[in-house]
Amino acid sequence: MKKNFAFMLCLTAAVTICGLLSETYAIPLSFDKILIKPIIEGKEVAGIRLGDNEATLEGVIGNLPLNAEIHSESEKTLSYGNMTDEGGIGINVFIKNGVVIGVEVISRPILSRGHLYEGKTQRGFSFGDSIARINALYGKAYKIFGNKMFWYKKKRRNHFRMRRLG
pLDDT at 101: 93
pLDDT at 71: 94
The domain ranges of the chain are 27-121, 129-166
The one-letter amino acid code at 35 reads L
Residue stretches of the chain with pLDDT short of 50: 1-29, 158, 165-166
pLDDT at 163: 56
The answer to whether 159 and 143 are in contact (CB under 8 A) is no
pLDDT at 13: 31
pLDDT at 164: 55
pLDDT at 147: 74
Query: Phi then psi for 159, rounded to 5 degrees?
Result: -100, -60
- Residue-wise DSSP of 92-142: EEEEETTEEEEEEEEEE-BTTTB-S-----TT---TT--HHHHHHHH-S-S
pLDDT at 33: 82
Fold classification of 27-121 is: Beta-lactamase Inhibitory Protein; Chain:B, domain 1 (3.30.1450)
The model's pTM:
0.71
pLDDT at 97: 96
